[in-house]
Amino acid sequence: MSHTPRSAPIAKRAQLQPGDLGHLVKSVFLGAYNALMVGLELVINPLQRLVGARRMAYFFLLPNMIIFGVFVLFPMLLNFYYSGTTGTRLMPQDRTWAGLANYEHLFRCGNFSQPNTCVEDMFWRAAHNTVVFVMFQVGGMVLLALVTAVILNREIVARGFFRSVYFYPVLLSPVVVGLIWKWILQRFGLLNAVLTGLGGEPIQFLLDRDWATFWVILVSIWAQMGFYTLILLAGLQSIPAVLYEAGEIDGANVWQRFRFITLPLLMPTLFVVLVLALIRAVQVFDQVFVLTGGGPGTATKYMVQYIYETGFANQIPRRGLASAASVLLGMVLLVFTLAQLWLGRKSEAA
Amino acid sequence: MSTLRNFLIRKRGGSRIDITDALTYLYLAVGTLVMFGPVLWVVLSSFKTQAQLVEFPPRLLPYAQETIVVDGYDEPLPLYRVVVDGEERVLAQIRRVGIEAHMIDPENPPADPARPTDAERIRVNINDREPIERLSLALENYTEPLEKFRFATYLKNSVIVTTVATIITLVINSMAAFALSKYRFAGRDAVFVLIIATLMIPISVILVPVFLVITQLNMNNTLWGVIIPGAATPTGVFLLRQYMLTIPDELLESARIDGASEWRIYWQIVLPLARPALAVLAIFSVMWRWNDFLWPLIVLSRSELFTLQVGLNAFQGELQIQWHYVLAMTVLTLLPITAVFAFLQRFITTGIATTGLKG
């Protein structure tokens, strides 16, 4: 790290340079790390003598498996049991077994396309909203990501810069994304200023059901598009350039080259992107929660927010019902995941 | 000028710029504006005073009115540009009465500030004066919330959660990946399939039971309750295992012959060789943890334990949003991630492109 050349006079080297400080910190950390690891050896090596080298695999696996088992696997199983209980108590042993009552409650409906006719109308409103959101967000985003990826794959100036431009919002936290757009969309915000500047009337974007839905979808596309663009770009780059040259020689124009070379060869990547986007969109929650709070009314309330409110935020939490809803959500995700695994296997075999 | 033009439109093929190129650059320019614009606007807004934020239509840059200290007046007086008798003058306002402003000449202040004579006091219609302004950053937006509210605490909590969780994730995931890639043992494939199967099961599906588990373990309302449940990430194990498979087994065998213990092989051979994969996982873990919202929202209900994201959300949820503070704190929250982006962008993008990790 030190920038001092080797031939520098001794006297100068004795002084503490900024680079030396970095060096010092690094060696202190490294020393502490090594000391810790050697110290652990004193405990772990006797264990190895006891169980033998080969069974040490279980030891290495253990910490991860404990946390995985306690906080992922066990809760997954518990969720099924929990969804069959009612009551206001938290601990499973204090709750009454109710069989499929929670599911029946969720599905007691006059007409599934009309949330008003359902006993648990909020669940169905959330379900409806989620379906609309998923269709438009995933559809719009995959299309835009594809266009962007194709454009970024061209011979352009400052390629690296433009690639990172589209990726930047992906890194922002959902809360920050929500706040940024809340600031822009508010009554006296930038967008309304532009609108009035062009001679229009200001619009209360987040207080109108349709506008709120529109912006929630658009903001989600803005925040996540770069991620899918990147995957599609990697897919595009794996298409051999020879194919395009051959197409050009055969007289195919730009559109034909895209339609008959790019699109078929990009299909596997496109499917992966589609499924990943679906899985993500079904779980939409945080940036919407910050941006609209689910409002106006219930216009932008989605499934995860329903689960969060039913199970935690409401005055009287109905955790059994929340569990039942999350089991249903899990089923939907499982279908998507299996579809992805199946597609992955298929493209690997191809 | 023409060399610059040539430089800008030069392409690898050497051909001239055409309509598709024009459309491409138009798309890229609009894209850049749409992607960076909102963030930039929030950064600019965060330096405006409360009064300026409610100004409509808003102005691009933060301004403040120029003031002057005049002997005999306790407060600094605001300066205006006024046309008096066809002559433009710079005057300081001492009082406003209805639509009339009382001004004095700061160069030539009244002898008795409490009772200026009619010659010294110039009456101006408020529509005939124009405030003199200069660029000014309202830095108090940043410093005040750190003192008045608990933002310093939130910041500390976020740093603790992110650091501790990332260290734990790196250690236990790399140990598991080591076991899964370098040993043959009964049940290995079953464990691996189990991990892959849960790759796509997000915490939003198991919120209630995980909450139950952490309550039972007395981790509710603690930072541990936020840190531990997500530590055993399937994605992390998968990423590290795939990388460790490329480390030749002969290396480990020769170390064993030299008498190295399994633990020593792990930390002195495998870990240093897996450094690129560990770096990618570390970056991802930092991003996941710093940006995490739903789970901390459920676990943490005492405000002294809030992370930045939860604190920011609670702060913006108040009836009267104090935008001048909220915007500044938003900028503070997005700063570390932006720094990560600026310096490690290449790592992240190649990491995603090769593994398909969720960002």
B251 touches chain A (CB under 8 A): no
Banded pLDDT at B7 (limits 50, 70, 90): low
Query: Three-state DSSP class for B131?
Result: strand
Could you tell me if residue B338 is inside a domain? yes
* Nearest C-alpha in A relative to B33: A165
Residue where a domain stops, chosen among B103, B135, B167: B135
The answer on pLDDT for B164 being more than 90 is yes
Q: What is the ipTM of this complex?
A: 0.81
Could you tell me if residue B290 is inside a domain? yes
Q: Residues B11, B12, B13, CA angle at the centre, nearest 5°?
A: 95
The answer on pLDDT for B306 being more than 90 is yes
Cα–Cα distance, A71 to A330 (Å, whole number): 16
Could you tell me if residue B341 is inside a domain? yes
Cα–Cα distance, B30 to B33 (Å, whole number): 5
pLDDT of residue A312: 86
Topology of the domain covering A118-349: MetI-like fold (1.10.3720)
Q: Do B170 and B300 belong together in one domain?
A: yes
**Which residues of chain B lie closer than 8 angstroms to A58, CB-CB?**
179, 185
CB contact under 8 A, B172 and A45: no
Each domain of chain A, given as residue ranges in start order, spans 1-53, 118-349
Q: Do B189 and B334 belong together in one domain?
A: yes
Q: Region B189-194: what's the mean pLDDT?
A: 87
More confident residue, B224 or A113: B224
Residues of the domain holding B31: 2-45
Could you tell me if residue B53 is inside a domain? no
Half-sphere CA count of A317, side-chain side, radius 13 A: 16
CB contact under 8 A, B206 and A326: yes
Could you tell me if residue B160 is inside a domain? yes
Q: Which of A169, A175, A329 sits opposite B313 (nearest CB)?
A: A175
Q: Do B213 and B274 belong together in one domain?
A: yes
CB contact under 8 A, B212 and A311: no
CA B106 to chain centre: 44
Specify the DSSP class assigned to residue B137: -
**Which residues of chain A lie closer than 8 angstroms to B262, CB-CB?**
44, 48, 53, 56, 60
Residue where a domain stops, chosen among B135, B153, B170: B135
Could you tell me if residue B163 is inside a domain? yes
Could you tell me if residue B247 is inside a domain? yes
Average pLDDT, chain B: 83
Residue A253, by phi and psi: left (phi above 0), alpha (psi -120 to 50) or beta? beta
| Residue percentage of chain B with pLDDT more than 70 | 91
Q: Region B27-41: what's the mean pLDDT?
A: 92
Banded pLDDT at A27 (limits 50, 70, 90): confident
Q: Do B116 and B163 belong together in one domain?
A: no
Cα–Cα distance, A232 to A249 (Å, whole number): 26
pLDDT of residue B359: 39
Q: Do B236 and B346 belong together in one domain?
A: yes
pLDDT of residue A181: 94
Instruction: Enter the tokens of residue B149.
Output: 């509210």
Closest CA of chain A from B261, distance in Å:
7
pLDDT of residue A4: 44
- Hey, which residues 317-346 in chain B have their CB within 8 Å of chain A? 317, 323, 326-327, 330, 333-334, 337-338, 340-341, 345
The answer on pLDDT for A146 being more than 80 is yes
- Hey, which residues 137-166 in chain B have their CB within 8 Å of chain A? none
The answer on pLDDT for B296 being more than 90 is yes
The answer on pLDDT for A10 being more than 60 is no
B43 touches chain A (CB under 8 A): no
Q: Are A289 and A312 in contact (CB under 8 A)?
A: no
Q: Which of A28, A254, A30, A66 is nearest to A151 (CA)?
A: A254
**Which residues of chain A lie closer than 8 angstroms to B232, CB-CB?**
64-65, 67-68, 71-72
Domain count, chain B: 3
Instruction: Enter the tokens of residue A14.
Output: 């004795």
Residue B101 backbone phi and psi in degrees, to 5 = -110, 135
Average pLDDT, chain A: 85
pLDDT of residue A196: 87
Amino acid identity of residue A169, one-letter, is P
| Residue percentage of chain A with pLDDT more than 70 | 93
pLDDT of residue B4: 58
